[in-house]
Amino acid sequence: MDYVAALVPSLVMAVAFTLVIRTMIKSQGGANKGKEDAAVDAALARAESARQSEGPAH
């Protein structure tokens, strides 16, 4: 019975990990995809403009 006690935590973590990955995949896209993409594009543009405004790092 010790082997069962040793395997249970691993099995619980494997099931939990599978459910988390499944939820992440299913939640991609959908109605808010455009808003999420726009937010990421805006953040990247701000980071790029901040990097360019700093000039050379010499």
pLDDT tens digits, 39-58? 999 999 999 998 888 766 55
pLDDT at position 55, please?
A: 66
Dump the DSSP string for 1-56: -HHHHHHHHHHHHHHHHHHHHHHHHHHSSSTTHHHHHHHHHHHHHHHHHHHHHH--
pLDDT tens digits, 17-31? 999 999 988 888 777
